[in-house]
Every structure is written in C-alpha cells, then in structure tokens.
Amino acid sequence: MNKKKNQTSIDLDAIMTEVLNLFTPEEQQEVIDILSNNGLEKIYQQMEEAFYHYQHPDYSSEATPIAAYLQRLWDMQTCKDYPFDEFKKDCTTVPAAELEKDLRNFILHLFIHYQGPLENAKEEDRPFKLWYIYWAMEHYRMESSLNIILEIMRQSPTFLASYCHLVQDEATIAIIYQLGQNQLPLLLSFMNEDGIAPFGKEDICSAVAQIAITNPERRLEIINWFCQLLNSYYDQFERGEDNNIAIIDYITNTLMNIRAIETLPILEKIYKRFKIPNTLTRKGIKEIKKEMPHAELKGLEVDSMEELMNLLNEFFAFNENNEFDDNEFDEEYDDEFDDDEYDNSFYIGEQTPKKLNIKISLIDSDPEIYRIVEVPSDIRLESFADVINTAMGWEGYHMHLFQKGKTIYTTEE
C-alpha cells in the first residue's frame, strides 16, 4: 500500500538491520529465535514492566452501550464481514454530533474489553476497526476527537501491538496529522507525559513534521514546537528524568527529514551533555550538523485516512479479481513437477562436487557480522541465495544478484 509524491517512509528493514548490528552473531541468533517463536508477546510485556505505568481512568464509568449501527463493526472479524462502503453509508444516517459521541464510546469499549493479542489472535483484521473509526473522524472533521486518539496512544504496548503498528503506524500518524494541525499545544503536552509507551510519541513527531512538509508557511511554527519540546526534555534530563531520552534519536531523524537546522543549537546541547542512543540515525552531532542542511526532505507516504482507505479498497479489489482455488492449482501442476527433477535442480549436476566452506560477511558491519556455511560446489546460485537468506535470518523480501568482475548473475525479474 505504498504510494505518493516524492515521499518515503522509514525503511523498517533498515531499522531492524541497524538494531541487529548492535549484537554479536550469537546474540543476533538469539533475538531471531525469540522473534520467530512468538517472543514479541514477551517483549511487549517486559516493556510494560520496565517503563509503562499509565494509570488510566475508569473507562467503564464513562462507557454506554455500543450504538446499534456500530455493532457490526464491533463483531467484525475481517473486513469482508463489514465492507468499508457499508460503514460509510451507515455513518451518513447519524447526525455528526451523535456519531462523534458513538465513535468515542466505541473506543472506550475497546479499552474495556481488550484481553491481549493471544486471546483474540483470530482477529487478523482487528486494526481495521480503528481505521474505520479514524476515517469517520477525519471525514467529518471531528477535531475534538483528538483527545480520545491520544488516549489510544496511552494504552499498553500489547494493546498498541494489537491495534496499531509499533513502527510508523500510517493510520495513527494520518489521523493525528489531520485532527491535530490546530492543536499543537495539546500534542506538546502529551509529549511531556511520563509512563506511556514511546511509540505514540514517535507518531506524533511524524505527524507534526508533516505539517511543515505540506504547509511550508507554518514551518517556523513547527520548528518552534520542536524547540520547545527539546528544551523541555533537556530540563527533564538535567533533573535525572531520562524517560524520554531514547526518543531523542527519533526526533533527530524527524528533524533531518524537514531540514530543521534551527533546532541544531538545542540538539547539540543535548547530544554533548547526555548519552543519546542512536540506533536510527547512527550519527553523532558533528555528522548531524553537517548533513541536516542538505538532507533529503521526507514526508509521509499517506497523510489522510481517505487515501489510506482507498488504497485498502484497491488492495481488496485486486485480491478478489486474482483469487484462485489452491486445490485446483495443485491438481493442475501436480503432474508438471517431478519431485526428483525438482530436487536435482538445486545442483548443476555436471561435475563431481566438492565441499566448500564459505564465509559470508556484511559490508561495513562493526563488529563484523558473518556466517560460515558449508555447501557443495555444484549448488546453483539461486539455491545458494536461499542458503544465504536462511543463514542470515532473512526472509528473501529483497532482490539479489551475484557478481564476478563485470559479469552479473541474477533472475530474469
């Protein structure tokens, strides 16, 4: 669902690579083992124990029964259960003031009845419940609903993992950008709260920066907002409160994206006075000062729920138009593939193979990240690519090639 005008989002693969580069090969494998065995659930819980201590209000005292026209959304397991166009039509039958109240109440029920990702794992499309609501809030310009959006951002890491992405959640950033453009003081106040997960704060930074990208006349206003935030954090750090110190790196990266050179004095003050984790920028203050004036301007790929939902509809329409029966596919091709022939295709088969020990190293990794693999000398390059992906813990999402001198070996695509 990527789209848009000369803009790029954060590269999740690059971030994960940067993070893994901080570990030894043995530690990396342990991390991969954890993540591949549903370890994320444990990680979120450990994060909650480590820093999350938000004391939420008694939502049940505020909540009322879910409106009848929203019951389908509550019961929705997948988007097919309640097509988005039908939701849009249902919203038109309700006065705007009543709709806003009902949507807020719906979110309160999500807080009340949330039981964790494992208990409701079958709800694969659970985040879309919020997407529907976000769309309605944006479409009907419900700016006062920003309060309940921020309350979502105050929920536990496990809740955010179930209903929102933890890295660059497009929907959350889009709705904060749409509803918060005239409420910067409220967003600044949220950024100074303690005991909540950092992911929401990162999304707010991205949303506020987007204002400067799409409204150049407000650029200095946005720069001032970030300067206030950084000065506030500096004072917190001086008092020994380091709850927000990890987010400085994210803020710095965001400021690079809008070439906010006016923030360099306070950034330099922070970087020189305190130890800032730099897993994202991987730069010191000298490099930041040198690169920021010439950095590539980067905004959001999608900054409205209208566009996001249109992309979602296009995605579903494409899948429906390209559906095929798995059993029919298997029957059609069963006779075409001979198991022995397929196995032999992994090897060249025209020479007596030797046993090769090959060291695979990541360029510029410090400390060196490498794997040593043992393969037969007659293995085909495409099969060897699978070996490399498996050994490094990758999933083969990216294209690849092999090169010797000026000769390049790759797939037709």
Burial class (CB in 10 A: 0-12, 13-18, 19+), 202: buried
User: Tens digit of pLDDT for each residue in 148-171?
Assistant: 999 999 998 888 888 886 556 889
* Predicted pLDDT of residue 248: 95
Query: For position 413, what pLDDT does the model report?
Result: 58
CB 131 within 8 A of CB 308: yes
DSSP H helix total and E strand total for the chain: 21, 4
CB atoms within 10 A of CB 175: 29
Which of 204, 294, 190 lies closest to 250 in space, CA to CA? 204
| C-alpha to C-alpha distance for 71 and 394, rounded to whole angstroms | 41
Q: What is the block-wise mean pLDDT of the chain (413 residues), using blocks of 10 residues?
A: 41 56 63 54 57 89 96 91 94 96 97 70 72 97 98 91 75 96 98 90 96 96 98 96 90 95 97 88 89 91 91 75 51 45 54 82 82 87 87 79 80 65
**3-state DSSP assignment of residue 39:** coil
State both tokens at 210. Answer: 């987007």
pTM: 0.69
Distance of CA 340 to the CA centre of its chain: 42
Q: What is the pLDDT of residue 317?
A: 73
Alpha carbon distances (Å) from 116 to 39, 65, 97, 124: 14, 22, 31, 13
- Is the Cβ–Cβ distance between 387 and 375 less than 8 Å? yes
Q: Are 255 and 292 in contact (CB under 8 A)?
A: yes
CA 375 to chain centre: 36
For residue range 219-261, list pLDDT tens digits in order: 999 999 999 999 999 999 999 998 899 899 999 999 999 999 9
Determine the straight-line distance between the first and last CA of the chain, rounded to whole angstroms.
21
Long-range contacts of 15-22 (CB under 8 A, 24+ apart): 15/167, 15/279, 15/280, 18/279, 18/280, 18/282, 19/279, 20/369, 21/362, 21/365, 21/366, 21/369, 22/279
Strand partners, 404: 407
